[in-house]
Structure 1
Amino acid sequence: MGEEYNTMSYREMDRLELLQALMGKQLRQREVAERLSLSVRQVKRLVARYRAEGAAGLVSRQRGKRPNNRILDSVRESAIQLVQTHYADFGPTLAREKLEERHGYQLSTETLRQWMMAEGLWVAKRRKAARIHQRRPRRPYLGELVQIDGSPHDWFEERGPRCTLIVFIDDATSRLMALHFVPAETTQAYMETLRAYLKAHGRPVALYSDKHSIFRVNHPDQEGVPTQFTRALQTLDIQAIHANSPQAKGRVERANQTLQDRLVKELRLQGISDLEAANAFLPEFLADYNRRFAVSPQHPQDAHRPVLHNPEELSLIFCLQHTRKLSKNLSFRFQNREYQLTNYSSGYRLRGASVTVCQAFDSSITLLYQGQPLTYRILAEGEPPIPLDDEKSLHLRIEQAVKEQAQRSHWKPAPDHPWRRYPQSKPAHTSTP
């Protein structure tokens, strides 16, 4: 009997104890069935086996046998071969998804993880020591708080140019609301992404960003002065909130890490290596991402509000706006150009007035005075000013300069260029007697 006890599991020993109580009239069959989560008929079978074989009759008949649902060795070898060929740098979770989607293999993540570890395709990550942080609870409504950020990365793995992914993610649901590939993180990039967001979802209550100069003027003497992007938010009645640290907007930071893993590999599998094709693929990826990772909000009500401006007004909102003061002849200078109002013969009331110069990203200019457009002509035009860049757009400017200089590698000066007017060698000096 002692040897039989040694081969029994704890669950089987519990069954033995209850059956002994049943045989001793201390419990009823229904009570034993409830405690073991079995039917009364199954309890009767256990009693019969116990009477016939003793405690050994309660040991599972499948012990030591090959399970019926064991995966065949051929399936394991085929799956490992596919991982080695196509998904060698994929994590077990993403590799399992691709094996199911593209090859029809039904495996668990843990099974594939163990196989990949055995083959040296995956190294178990060491768990970091837990750090205690008081987590901010999610906002209860969709569209109340949208975290925004730019993620510069080698998205095409040297198959194409480095670029930046603009990410808008909802705080209440972890749902990706907008994605957009752009050459660099600029005001234009955020304005274009926000305009597409408004068209798809409406106006959110607030946008949560870092303290980059796109979102906030960081000069101490100009505190409170809105940037171009913040001015657009104020016009649309969208609250701008700035985080004090990357950890404060952890939802979008963690999403960036996931995207830099999953989206990079998806672009590789799709053979995408340029911005246009990548942006065309993003809606499909966004829908799949939200299906996997988005959660339901605490309240079903949507906090988004309708957009109250028409397309023409939105075009003026999403541009660069500057203020200029008119001279006595109704002219002003802007970016090395001189503009003058036309069809204002009696324009005394406009002398010294401040007008708004709306510069679209295609360089077209619209003049506004008290919300009304003004007609103008260009009197004089000089060289455009050199644009200012920050650390996030510096690499793009350098890459553009390299391409432009490469195109001018065989450039020759014109025949009347000042360089050609000078003699190639100085005449020898002669002295007069």
Structure 2
Amino acid sequence: MTVLTMSAAEVSRFDTLKRLDRGEIRPVDAMALLGLQRSQLYRLLKRLRRDGAAGLVSRKRGRPSNRRFSDAFRDHVVGIVRERYADFGPTLACEYLAEQHGITLSRETLRQMLMAAGVWKAKVAKRARLHQSRYRRECRGELVQVDGSDHDWFESRGPRCTLLVYIDDATSELMHLEMAESESAFSYMRATRSYLERHGKPVAFYSDKHSVFRNNNATADSDGMTHLGRALDRLDVEIICANSPQAKGRVERANGTLQDRLVKAMRLAGISSIDEANAFLPSYIARHNARFACAPADPRDVHRPLAAHENVEAEMVWREERTVTASLALHFNKAMFILEP
């Protein structure tokens, strides 16, 4: 038994034509209701009298679209993705197909192709969680979120390392990326120095409560500052520590994006060391920002240039205070250093 399925528009057309056939409305009224010319109206009426309701069902239903890509083209695209971008999502795969192969497709079209070929599985929609978003800062350089992301960035081709991420709160623009062996004070000093020399001084850095940014064991005898905090204080840059990962959500989401996109970009470029990655990162930043950065509410850039008397290289160092004894000696790290008179 064949089940006839009609769309809402076809049901409405059927009802109007039946009323016309029974003489309840005039042809001119039916033409106005259906938006048809007289010849079209009577052609449909003739089809209704001959075939019944089935005559009004679109004859294109169940047939391939005239705009459908050929099977050969679909096989070609799926073959490229299967060979080179097997673990890429449809969005990222679309971008690489356009950039590297000159094949322009919509994300949804590619997703349907990959699902039909068994290369991609549809994801279950996540239940939306309600939360209050923090408004962006208005100007570029007003607040820069900072975080370190420990990850297997080279997919076992090289050592596991940490990516230091600096992202502007107003624009979601990646300001600086740097690979380091670990999330240490010296790594942050080196990366922050590069940031300041390139962009100038932001109003504030926004970080978590990592010991590089906050002294969690401060006592009454100390000022409570870390070595990096003391250097930034001398350069008049504030450090704000977030109370939760959600508070610095912009850099946390950027970490997730980078762990997906940057890992794949470095794989395609054959990068397997920290030095090679740091040479590659500036070009990746430009491509990432072209895709994800947005315009700030206020077009001003509030980064401040370094003053002539501010020596970033001299400030970004590890400083320890020691007292020289009467015998011109000082103790540091379980060793005694004797000074020349």
Q: TM (normalized to structure 2)?
A: 0.84
Deviations 1:228-273 (A, max 9, x none): 0100111111111111111211111111111111111111100010
| CA-to-aligned-CA distance 1:12-31 (integer Å, 9 cap, x gap) | 6778999999954799x8xx
Equivalenced residue count is: 323
What is the distance in 1 between the residues matched to 2:15 and 2:196?
67
**Is structure 2 residue 251 aligned with structure 1 residue 260?**
no
8 Å Cα contact 1:230/1:240 also seen in 2:
yes
In the alignment, structure 1 residue 179 sits paired with structure 2 residue 181: no
Alignment of 1:231-246 (within 5 A): 231-246=230-245
Residue equivalent to 1:378: none
Measured in 2, the distance between the counterparts of 1:146 and 1:198 equals 12
Greater Cα offset, 110-119 or 133-142: 110-119
State the 1:341 CA deviation.
5.6
Aligned to 2:154: 156
- Cross-structure match for 1:358: none
Q: Say whether 1:140 aligns with 2:138.
A: yes
Inter-CA distance 54–337: structure 2 relative to 1 (3 Å threshold): farther
Amino acid at match of 2:86: A
CA shift, 1:133, in A, is: 1.5
Give 1:56 shift: 5.9
Work out the CA distance in 2 between the residues paired with 1:80 and 1:188.
46
Q: Aligned equivalents of 1:17 and 1:206: distance in 2?
A: 68
**Structure 2 matches for 1:30-429, cutoff 5 A?**
46-54=37-45, 65-219=63-217, 221=219, 225-309=224-308, 313-328=311-326, 330-335=328-333, 336-340=335-339
Q: Is the 2:141–2:302 Cα contact (8 Å) retained in structure 1?
A: yes
Change (3 A) 1:153 1:22: farther
Output one character per residue of 1:258-295: Cα deviation in whole Å (capped at 9) or x when no partner: 11111111111000101111111001111111111111
Distance 1:301 1:162 in 2: 39
**TM-score normalised over the length of structure 1:** 0.67
Distance 1:139 1:15, change over 3 A: farther
- Shifted more, 174-183 versus 193-202: the winner is 193-202
Asked if 1 retains the 8 angstrom alpha-carbon contact of 2:329 and 2:336, the reply is no
SS in 2 for 1:225: coil
Asked whether the 8 Å contact 1:217–1:224 carries over to 2, the reply is no
Aligned residue for 2:129, secondary structure, equals coil
Aligned to 1:113, what secondary structure does the other structure show?
helix
User: Bigger relative contact order, structure 1 or 2, given CA contacts below 8 A and separation 6+?
Assistant: 2
* Superposed CA RMSD: 3.0
Percent of aligned positions that are identical? 49
Offset of residue 86 of structure 1: 1.3
In structure 1, stretches of 5+ residues that fail to align are 1-5, 37-42, 343-433
Structure with greater Cα Rg: 1
Matched position secondary structure for 2:215: coil
User: What are the superposed Cα offsets for residues 348-401 of structure 1, whole Å, 9 maximum, x if unpaired?
Assistant: xxxxxxxxxxxxxxxxxxxxxxxxxxxxxxxxxxxxxxxxxxxxxxxxxxxxxx
Deviation at 1:55, TM superposition (A): 8.3
Following the alignment from structure 1 to structure 2, what is the Cα–Cα distance between the partners of residues 217 and 55? 86
Contact residue 218 and residue 224 of structure 2 kept, 8 A: no
Structure 2 distance, partners of 1:138, 1:102, is 35
For 2:88 and 2:316, the matched residues in 1 are separated by 40
Q: Distance in 1 between matches of 2:140 and 2:9?
A: 47
Q: Which letter does structure 2 place at the counterpart of 1:135?
A: S
For structure 2, the 5+ residue unaligned runs are 49-55
Structure 1: distance between partners of 2:13 and 2:294 = 41
